[in-house]
Amino acid sequence: MAPKKPNKPDLRLVAESEVYDLMRPPATTAERVKRLQAEARALALEEVEALERLLVEAAAKAREIAAGGDAYPVGAREIASRLAEDLPMKAETIKAIVSRQP
């Protein structure tokens, strides 16, 4: 019977469609900086996309309040009405900005 080899964890990180072996140190500091910057950009993109989704949800809620009639205070309905018009445009602007990123 062959001796068992100790199991070594296979730790990898996916960044920009590349598999990075975390057990292997980067060849240079510049490579490490490049990898960390790519990770930061990916995380920032996720956050911006989450903001876009929240703006769309807020616009839907604002439409409900604007159309809610006398149950809501007049000032709140007016602000909600303006937000219902503005937020979708803001979300589309963010989507356009994100789509232009490399």
**Residue 100 confidence class, pLDDT cut points 50, 70, 90:** confident
Residue with the bigger pLDDT between 3 and 77: it is 77
CB 13 within 8 A of CB 20: yes
Residue among 12, 21, 17 nearest 42 (CA): 17
Give the Cα separation of 33 and 17 in Å (integer): 17
Residue with the bigger pLDDT between 11 and 32: it is 32
pLDDT of residue 102: 67
pLDDT of residue 57: 96
